[in-house]
Amino acid sequence: MVKNAPSPRKARVAPPSQKRPAQLTEQRAKTERRSNAAGVGAERLSPDTTWQRRHLLDLDDFSAAEIAVVLDTTDAMKEVLSRDVPRVPALRGKTIVTLFYEASTRTRASFELAGKVLGADVINVSAAGSSVQKGEALLDTIRTIQAIGADVCILRHHSAGAPYLAARESTFRVINAGDGGHAHPTQALLDAYTLRSQLGDLRGRKIVIVGDIAHSRVARSNMWSLTALGAEVVLCGPPTLLPAGLNGAAPDAEERDLPPVRVEHDLDIAIEDADAVMALRLQHERQSGGLLPSLREYARLYQVNSERMAKAKPGALVLHPGPINEGVEISTEVAHGSRSVVEEQVANGVAVRMAVLYLLLRGEQP
């Protein structure tokens, strides 16, 4: 945890303001006028434009309606991306800074492309090669980015809570691109979008998340969004790789207020009749060691393979946030098989991140 950073679970961002219907209509009309000028196709946007957040730090206090606004806006962004020239001036004049203290391929590249498609200027800063290597503290880097004139900073950091600190100490908007094992909200939003595109309404759908849940920010953010959308979430992994506080199992655990999910240690049972299975990478960089007898044993018990997928619903989907370690958490055959939507997840990541940037910055059209 970053020193002085508020506890991520306690530092909830303000809930969306409760506007009266007349104000909403007026606001909607304004938004539509703005988005037409921005070339984003307002008619495709959700009529519910009450997404009023200043930052995107986690999904733990998101309602189903708010998530739906992001997913509906993503539909409009997909349409932009399908144009011959996928460029719109929606965020022209805006400066986006990506600040990454951890490695990334998909998240950083898709945020960069998302910003460029919307006409913003995008500056990429990674800890390696920046003043961070000379010992600069996170707060000083944040102040530098503010002085540059950033409108939004997309921050990935190895410490849970870092984006909350950035949000508190700066005037720009902050998007959490992954903070330690805590949260990765845009990954969960692109997962929800991919699932919704394939399965429709997620209420009552059984989604199994299998692997290193304890160290996975992707799993945590997905727990919040999928339960908010009404899905039945089943977590599967060895006891050493599950958070201690799940379902009140360890009342003294640091993390005890995760949403209600089912826990099943046997993947062959967990996967029965699943609508979708999400495999997760072992987060070796966050593990303290001694959590698994061996990789071979782990793969034997928890690998998502064809034999196991045969127990899920016919046509059940396979997801993975990447990067994939083929042959460990997922077999090569399943990772690239007909049920896999892994590449679709990556493609949807650009549109979802466009939607998030647009929703955060649209109120400030030049």
184 is a site residue for ligand MLT (CB under 6 A): yes
217 is a site residue for ligand MLT (CB under 6 A): yes
Residues 319 and 280 sit within 8 Å (Cβ to Cβ)? no
According to DSSP H, which parts of 210-263 are helical? 217-228
**Which CB, 181 or 238, lies closer to ligand MLT?**
181
**Interacting residue with ligand MLT among 78, 196, 281, 308 (CB under 6 A):** 281
187 is a site residue for ligand MLT (CB under 6 A): yes
227 is a site residue for ligand MLT (CB under 6 A): no
Residues 344 and 319 sit within 8 Å (Cβ to Cβ)? no
Q: Using alpha carbons only, give the angle 231, 237, 241 rounded to the nearest 5 degrees.
A: 115
State the minimum distance, in angstroms, from the CB of residue 280 to ligand MLT: 6
State the minimum distance, in angstroms, from the CB of residue 187 to ligand MLT: 5
Which strands make up the sheet holding 95-100, listed edge to edge? 121-126, 95-100, 152-157, 173-179
DSSP letters, 58-104, are -STT--HHHHHHHHHHHHHHHHHHTSSS----TTTT-EEEEEESS--
**Interacting residue with ligand MLT among 57, 99, 218, 276 (CB under 6 A):** 218
321 is a site residue for ligand MLT (CB under 6 A): yes
**Which CB, 107 or 331, lies closer to ligand MLT?**
107
Spell out the residues 6+ positions from residue 153 whose beta carbon is closer than 8 angstroms to its own: 96, 97, 98, 99, 142, 145, 166, 170, 172, 173, 174, 175
Q: What does the block give as tokens for 264?
A: 């099943």
Closest residue by beta carbon to ligand MLT: 281
State the minimum distance, in angstroms, from the CB of residue 109 to ligand MLT: 12
State the minimum distance, in angstroms, from the CB of residue 216 to ligand MLT: 7
178 is a site residue for ligand MLT (CB under 6 A): yes
Binding site for ligand MLT (CB under 6 A): 178, 184, 187, 217-218, 281, 321
